[in-house]
């Protein structure tokens, strides 16, 4: 009987494909960009989504608006929607985000990023894969269940947030401060697309983005003794730090790809505009993605010791400024219930066996994990997020909806 009910729901998901595509086209027209990135926020998009949730027939739809004076209506909207199951002891949550990144150089796009184009089994437009594919898939998974008149064995809910792309202060962080999730809840964050959907992210590296500013003395390049070349000192500092980090923190963890901590000098700020002036100030950055076994404060202390040595050697002063500095959240156990449930559903719908992985990038799952919740991060997609001509594969959107419906109807 349970298999027959699931088959009926999955058939309804297939029948809803045109509605899902239409919803994707509609919400792509809302440029839900953070004020930090030059936009107005997610207000208009959230209004559309909330009306859709009401139409689907969720038992409750709650608003958790985070004040933001720079956004439209001076707030960043967040939505929680839930349908009741036979058992209310816990909820299976799917979390998606409404905000998108700016389109970048429009000359690289072959279509208008905010006018979705449907062709060859794909939907082109900014946000279609990140994260609208699974936002839409999760809504229509529940719509299929409701349309079939099926009551899931446990409560099923959606967490639809703002501000994922620029730090989550006005999104999940705000929601976690306002809404009481249960320790027994199962949480899926569908925001880690891989081409075959075979990877479930359960762990993330620590992140340390550091800005190094070296202060020396500016002078004419023909009379270097009258100044102190900050650029030279900074170059030595960069190389010494780079060598020290790779030698001292070289442990491997095969859960991650790559299995090592990564320490990369990246951005270089301009110093002087002309060739014949010795710079008195120089600034560069490191992007460090560090295996969770290392304490990032201990690594920072080691970096500071190297900087002191360069200060003494070159008679300069060096300031180290953390731009982003977060110790890795506790990992989700590979055998956690939410991981097993997701893995079973992916195998049933897509026919692939999953494996658990760790990543160097950061996701909002970290905020849930720091709060003590097990989270599985997953997705199936062509990894076009943030690029020009971003697209969603329609079959993936429909398939993902089937995965979520399968999870929602799993017997207790």
3-state secondary structure of 21: helix
Query: Parallel, antiparallel, or unpaired: how do β-strands 199-204 and 281-290 relate?
Result: unpaired
Q: Quick one: DSSP state of residue 386?
A: T
- 164, 191, 385, 400: the catalytic one is 164
Tokens 């993605």 correspond to: 289
User: CA-CA distance, 132 to 101, in Å (whole number)?
Assistant: 12
User: CA-CA distance, 352 to 344, in Å (whole number)?
Assistant: 9
Q: Quick one: DSSP state of residue 374?
A: -
Read off the tokens for 7.
């088959």
Partners of 82 in the beta sheet? 60, 157
User: CA-CA distance, 290 to 33, in Å (whole number)?
Assistant: 29
Residue 103 · residue 165 · CB < 8 Å = no
Nearest CA among 123, 163, 125 for reference residue 39: 163
- 99, 204, 282, 400: the catalytic one is 99
User: CA-CA distance, 267 to 318, in Å (whole number)?
Assistant: 17
Does the annotation mark 99 as catalytic?
yes
Q: What are phi and psi of 267, to 5 degrees?
A: -65, 140
Residues 6+ apart with CB under 8 A from 251: 260, 261, 291, 293, 294
Identify how many contiguous H helices and E strands the chain contains and give both numbers.
10, 19
Cβ atoms within 10 Å, residue 124: 24
Active site residues: 99, 164
């Amino acid at each position: 009987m349970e298999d027959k009910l699931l088959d009926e729901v999955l058939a309804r998901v297939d029948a809803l494909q045109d509605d899902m595509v239409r919803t994707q086209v509609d919400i792509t027209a809302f440029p839900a960009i953070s004020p930090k990135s030059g936009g107005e926020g997610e207000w208009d998009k959230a209004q559309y989504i909330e009306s859709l949730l009401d139409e689907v027939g969720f038992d409750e739809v709650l608003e958790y608006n985070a004040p933001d004076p720079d956004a439209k209506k001076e707030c960043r909207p967040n939505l929680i929607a839930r349908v009741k199951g036979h058992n209310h002891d816990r909820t299976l949550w799917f979390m998606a985000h409404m905000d998108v990144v700016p389109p970048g150089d429009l000359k690289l796009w072959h279509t208008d990023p905010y006018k979705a184009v449907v062709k060859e089994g794909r939907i082109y437009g900014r946000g279609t894969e990140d994260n609208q594919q699974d936002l839409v898939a999760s809504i229509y998974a529940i719509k299929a269940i409701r349309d079939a008149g099926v009551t899931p064995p446990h409560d099923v809910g959606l967490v639809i947030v703002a501000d994922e792309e620029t730090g989550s202060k006005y999104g999940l962080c705000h929601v976690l401060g306002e809404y009481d999730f249960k320790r027994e809840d199962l949480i899926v964050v569908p925001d880690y697309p891989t081409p075959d959907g075979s990877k479930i992210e359960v762990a993330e590296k620590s992140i340390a983005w550091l800005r190094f500013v070296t202060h020396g003395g500016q002078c004419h390049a023909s009379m270097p003794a009258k100044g102190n070349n900050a650029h030279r000192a900074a170059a030595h500092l960069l190389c010494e730090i780079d060598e020290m980090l790779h030698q001292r923190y070289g442990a491997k963890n095969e859960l991650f790809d790559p299995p090592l901590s990564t320490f990369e000098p990246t951005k270089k700020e301009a110093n002087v505009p002309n060739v014949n002036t010795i710079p008195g100030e120089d600034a560069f950055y490191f992007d460090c993605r560090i295996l969770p076994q290392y304490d990032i404060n201990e690594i920072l202390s080691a970096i500071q010791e190297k900087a002191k040595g360069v200060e003494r050697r070159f008679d300069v002063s060096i300031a180290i400024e953390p731009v982003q500095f977060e110790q890795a959240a506790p990992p989700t156990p590979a055998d956690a219930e939410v991981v097993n449930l997701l893995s079973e559903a992916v195998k049933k719908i897509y026919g692939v066996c999953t494996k658990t992985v760790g990543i160097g990038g950061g996701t909002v799952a970290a905020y849930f994990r720091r709060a003590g919740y097990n989270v599985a991060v997953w997705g199936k997609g062509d990894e076009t997020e943030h690029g020009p001509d971003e697209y969603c594969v329609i079959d993936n959107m429909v398939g993902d909806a089937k995965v979520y419906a399968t999870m929602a109807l799993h017997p207790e």
